[in-house]
Structure 1
Amino acid sequence: MSNVFNSLSGRILTPSGWINGTIAFDQRIHTIGHDAAVAGNRALTILPGFIDLHVHGAAGTDIMEGGDAGAVVARTHARHGTTSLLGTTLTAREPAIRRALEGLAGVIAARPAGGARMLGVHLEGPFLNIHRLGAQPPDVMVASLAQVQALNAIAPIRVLTMAPEVPDHLELIPALRGMGIRVQIGHSAGTYDDGVAALNAGATGFTHLFNGMTGTDHHAPGMAAAALAHAEYAEIIPDLQHVQPGVIRAALRAIPRLYGVTDATSATGMPDGEYALGTQRVFKCQGCVRLATGSLAGSVLTMDQALRNFVGLGLDLADASNRLSRYPADYLDEMERGRLQPGAWADIVVLDEALHPVAVYVEGEAIPLNNAETQNP
């Protein structure tokens, strides 16, 4: 084995805090050490690569297209510091879901050159409540264990979004958890009590908190209230459009390991115009994506912008980083990702003073960056 390592010097975020030093790595991190020669305040910032557990598309490409869509999405998001992700489906008829998973299977098995590591699938549809679809198409189904097992055999499902109040769904949660799938509550018209029951049955998170679920009415609390009262983990879209900043701050205080996702669509990194979100037509304008009705329909967020948004909300940089790297890694039990320490995968993002990526490494591979796109998604 070669003993030649790449190295980076700067202000490094380690699991035990910041150090000014040098990190040496090949595919994995070899050493991290203090270096007195590294300047403090003006040094480059070196963080764990971002981990996005909810990604539908980018660069004009939608995961539901199947084929090489996953590779396009993985390469595009890698340029913004995302070093691993889950390819995320939409509600659709089963043949379309199978086609999407067949396309993702190859990307999961072999990381595309220049792309992020696809860790598996987030099956966001079709096991949702038809009354809380948001931008999802209306092809909902009632889940069965046999159906999930058949889909999981095509490509590994790491996260599955489900409306637990739909008949038979609550009883299915323990079996899904036994398969190693994280069940998330989302696109749900259920009550607070339904949410608590789902958590007690083994559900572990909430999909894009506050969006696509019942809320926090103090007389009739819903799923969002159950999350604030009981959740250890939940995902949130920090584009400052899906959730108002004050509400994000409230969730940050209530949920210990609230983590950010992009819910990015095919419009990410593209000019204003019309794009696909599964079978839906969506429109990018003024930094967001909407259906023709005006309803929000995913986002054009990238994880580097999510970091800057969290910092803009008042989070210190280490906390913001944890919510985009370490917590999602912990949620999936990916203990060799989401942290910079010897033996971990060399998934690294290097930022300038304005928190824009100047270098990204995925498992030690340097990712070519398009600086104009990186700074203006």
Structure 2
Amino acid sequence: MTQTEQIPAEAIIHNACILDGDRATFTEETADAWIAIADGTVAERGRGDGWKDRVASGRGEVIDAAGGYVAPAFVDIHCHGAGGASAEGGAEAIDAILDVHRAHGTGRLAMSFVSDTIEGLCRSLRAGAGLVHDRAMVMGLHAEGPFLSPDFRGAHAPEVLAPPTSEAVEAILEAADGTLAQITIAPELPGALDAIARFSAAGVRVAVGHTAADFELTAQAFDAGASILTHAFNAMPGIHHRAPGPVLAAAEAENVTVELINDGVHVVAPVARMLNELVPGRLALITDAMAATGLHDGSYHLGSLPVEVKDSVARLVTADGTQGAIAGSTLTMDAAVQRAVAEVGLSPFEAVRAASSVPLHAVGGAADADSLLAVGMPADLLILDQDMSIRGSRIGG
């Protein structure tokens, strides 16, 4: 196979370590495993020479993984755009976004909308709801706002930020029509704890983010039903020895998944290492990717706000023309995984889990998210070289 070649619907991949399953039952990373695909689903798995029996029966192209890895396709639960397009742009824009992220190993993602008026957000959600039904790669929608702190708004337009009134909450739920996978809320806003409980009761995963909340209030939000921390350390108070803040509240709430933008810019490697130690098995790698992802440096927009990308780092353009707050990222999931192993110190198994089963489980995307390549499951998978770069892929048929 050449690099990033499409894996056929009938194939036998051998000489690999399969990075899938429960940590407690995972066999150490030796490349003696094989996996067979038939009609685009996982037909059989094993270790040793059992794959040769399938070869003798003539079933499937034989692919030597050359001592590398087989991994589930990545899952990104926080993605705003790519290829010059943003989630708010409709069907054509969504297809451009999916093309870029699919090429970097993402098999499923939640399309994220930046803050807007309630009316504007509801229009985007109605349009997005149809795309969830039409495109298998779009697993759901994510409203990152407008229920955010003005003081920690990051790259969200201040004029559209609002408290989560009951009327706004019901309008959002109606517009999304069951496709809202996640919503980010600052718990200090008036009515926020009630809104968290209402969204949670409706099956929406609530994330705490873009918030000024302290440790105690963040813990109350998790008690009310919130179960995700939006891009840890970014757009929230940090850790202080007398004010531990949202990150340590998430660390102490064992049901909470913690997002990390692992580009070395939003969170530097030593802090990412500390975070992984604080929340073992609960780290979810995300991209927070915006329109410039997959393209070059230059001028773009995130929502209504102008953004300048320089050296692949996106920042708001301020009124005086200087660069302001970080405005999303140009990260892709394969780069996040590679950096997790090379810079942060996760094992290949831990990095792939943080990029697949952990985020999928966080938004309720699988009843048993620990084994995404079990027999009978769709064969959405990647072949990774030992440096975690993608050598081959099969995503969505």
Residue 21 of structure 1 aligns with which residue?
Answer: 34
Q: CA RMSD in A?
A: 2.2
Q: Say if 1:42 and 1:353, in contact at 8 Å, map to a contact too.
A: no
Q: Give the superposition deviation at 1:35.
A: 4.4
Separation in structure 2 between the aligned mates of residue 146 and residue 32 of structure 1, nearest angstrom: 51
- Structure 2 residue 69 is matched with structure 1 residue 45: yes
- Structure 2 residue 125 is matched with structure 1 residue 110: no
Q: Say if 2:122 and 2:171, in contact at 8 Å, map to a contact too.
A: no
DSSP 3-state at the match of 1:69 = helix
Q: Of the candidates 5, 8, 11, which is equivalent to residue 7 of structure 1? A: 11
Residue 369 of structure 1 aligns with which residue?
Answer: none
Q: Of the candidates 50, 57, 61, which is equivalent to residue 85 of structure 2? A: 61
Deviates more, 1:98-107 or 1:88-97: 98-107
Render the CA deviation track for 1:154-204: whole Å, top value 9, x for unaligned: 331111100011111112222211100111100001111111111111111
Q: Give the superposition deviation at 1:39.
A: 10
Q: Say if 2:348 and 2:388, in contact at 8 Å, map to a contact too.
A: no
Separation in structure 2 between the aligned mates of residue 62 and residue 235 of structure 1, nearest angstrom: 21
State the AA in 2 paired with 1:7: A
Separation in structure 2 between the aligned mates of residue 164 and residue 218 of structure 1, nearest angstrom: 22
Separation in structure 2 between the aligned mates of residue 295 and residue 303 of structure 1, nearest angstrom: 22
Identity of aligned residues (%): 32
Q: Say if 1:127 and 1:163, in contact at 8 Å, map to a contact too.
A: yes
Q: Give the superposition deviation at 1:31.
A: 1.9
Q: Give the superposition deviation at 1:40.
A: 9.2
Aligned residue runs from structure 1 range 185-196, under 5 A: 185-196=208-219
Separation in structure 2 between the aligned mates of residue 162 and residue 59 of structure 1, nearest angstrom: 28
Separation in structure 1 between the aligned mates of residue 65 and residue 82 of structure 2, nearest angstrom: 34
- Structure 2 residue 380 is matched with structure 1 residue 347: yes
Q: Give the superposition deviation at 1:295.
A: 2.0
Separation in structure 2 between the aligned mates of residue 199 and residue 353 of structure 1, nearest angstrom: 38
Residue 3 of structure 2 aligns with which residue?
Answer: none
Separation in structure 1 between the aligned mates of residue 349 and residue 120 of structure 2, nearest angstrom: 40
Aligned residue runs from structure 1 range 245-256, under 5 A: 245-256=269-280
Q: Of the candidates 101, 111, 133, which is equivalent to residue 77 of structure 1? A: 101
Q: Give the superposition deviation at 1:280.
A: 0.8
Separation in structure 1 between the aligned mates of residue 12 and residue 284 of structure 2, nearest angstrom: 27
User: Which residues of structure 1 form unaligned runs of 5+?
Assistant: 366-377
Residue 201 of structure 2 aligns with which residue?
Answer: 178
Residue 264 of structure 2 aligns with which residue?
Answer: 240
Pair member with larger Rg? 2
Residue 284 of structure 2 aligns with which residue?
Answer: 259
Residue 336 of structure 2 aligns with which residue?
Answer: 306
Residue 4 of structure 2 aligns with which residue?
Answer: none
Render the CA deviation track for 1:35-83: whole Å, top value 9, x for unaligned: 4269999334210010000000000001122342222212210110000
Give the number of equivalent residue pairs: 357
State the AA in 1 paired with 2:373: L
Q: Say if 2:77 and 2:359, in contact at 8 Å, map to a contact too.
A: yes
Residue 357 of structure 1 aligns with which residue?
Answer: 390
- Give the TM-score taking structure 2 as reference length: 0.84
Separation in structure 1 between the aligned mates of residue 148 and residue 363 of structure 2, nearest angstrom: 22
Render the CA deviation track for 1:94-132: whole Å, top value 9, x for unaligned: 333233223322321112xxxx61011111111111111
Q: Give the superposition deviation at 1:245.
A: 0.9
Residue 303 of structure 2 aligns with which residue?
Answer: 278
Residue 218 of structure 1 aligns with which residue?
Answer: 241
Residue 32 of structure 1 aligns with which residue?
Answer: 45
State the AA in 2 paired with 1:201: A
Separation in structure 2 between the aligned mates of residue 277 and residue 76 of structure 1, nearest angstrom: 17
- Structure 1 residues 71 and 151 mapped into 2: Cα distance closer, same or farther (>3 Å)? farther
- Give the TM-score taking structure 1 as reference length: 0.89
Q: Say if 2:37 and 2:379, in contact at 8 Å, map to a contact too.
A: no
Q: Say if 2:20 and 2:349, in contact at 8 Å, map to a contact too.
A: no
Q: Of the candidates 143, 158, 175, which is equivalent to residue 154 of structure 1? A: 175
DSSP 3-state at the match of 2:198 = helix
Deviates more, 1:345-354 or 1:14-23: 14-23
Residue 348 of structure 2 aligns with which residue?
Answer: 317
Separation in structure 1 between the aligned mates of residue 171 and residue 91 of structure 2, nearest angstrom: 19
- Structure 1 residues 33 and 207 mapped into 2: Cα distance closer, same or farther (>3 Å)? same
DSSP 3-state at the match of 2:376 = coil
